[in-house]
Amino acid sequence: MKFGALTDMFPRNFSMENIIDEAAKAGYDGLEIGIGPNYWNHPIYNKEERRKIIEHTHSAKIEIASLCAHFLWNLGFAHPDERIRSFSVDLVKDTIEIAREMEAKVILLPAADTPLTKPPESYRLFKQSILGCVETAEKKHVILAVEGVGREFMKTANQQLAFVKEVDSKWVGAYFDVGNSAMWGFDPAQEIRLIGPYLAQVHVKDTAGKRFGQGTIDFKAVMKALRDVKYDGYLIVELAPYGDDPTKAVYESIAFLKKL
């Protein structure tokens, strides 16, 4: 397995170059670039800035493991407004093109909806939107990884598994979040074994935003489950910077995980 860090872990005043350097120094293999609601301001959507990021990752000998489409929380694949869904699909298609250029193999898509839609309709609209992106993902060899983010239409590993099987494309997989699973009362190790063959990527964090080892998750059991299903992809650390030392989480997290 490889170790990666979500860019949201780093201090807000860090440039992408600062983040790349700090992650490489800490010993991470790759980065997951988080793209928030102000996506139009993100450097990866600027050709020249994107070129600089790619060159800097090559120089630092670190990969761009994945892109995280946080912006779908504000737009949405399951939004009741067809214009917003269509815009979201087009934006994800553009992001697939960028992922290919940056050699990122995965795009995280949060299974988010709005209070205006009920679970059956949310599921239908989300699936419709995903299917609108599959052809582009297939052409560019980028996996669309669906993460359960607490919405009733796709909260459990069973629901993720059923969805991925129904879409039936090798370019659509499950993005499993260890911390989310435990927070919702499930056994992460058990869910990993259930969804194993369809795992595209994994987020790791402890419960309640606590530092690794201070929450309730048995990470030894999680790692054993991942090894048992022969998962060899990225473990992406997803934590907020510590208030007392903004980069401490970056170093503590990978040290904890490498000991398991």
Write down the pTM of the prediction: 0.97
- Res 205 pLDDT > 90: yes
Closest CA to 153 of 163, 143, 140: 163
Report residue 221 CA to chain centroid gap.
Answer: 22
Return the H-helix or E-strand segment holding 106: strand 106-110
Interval 25-57: pLDDT, tens: 999 999 999 999 999 999 999 999 999 999 999
Q: Are 234 and 29 in contact (CB under 8 A)?
A: yes
Q: What is the pLDDT of residue 209?
A: 86
List the Cα angle 125/133/82 in 5-degree steps: 35
Interval 77-112: pLDDT, tens: 999 999 999 999 999 999 999 999 999 999 999 999
What is the set of domains in the chain, with CATH numbers?
2-258 (3.20.20.150)
Q: Which parts of 121-229 are beta strand (E)?
A: 143-147, 172-177, 199-204
DSSP class of residue 133 equals: H
Q: Are 130 and 172 in contact (CB under 8 A)?
A: yes
Interval 168-187: pLDDT, tens: 999 999 999 999 999 999 99
Interval 133-173: pLDDT, tens: 999 999 999 999 999 999 999 999 999 999 999 999 999 99
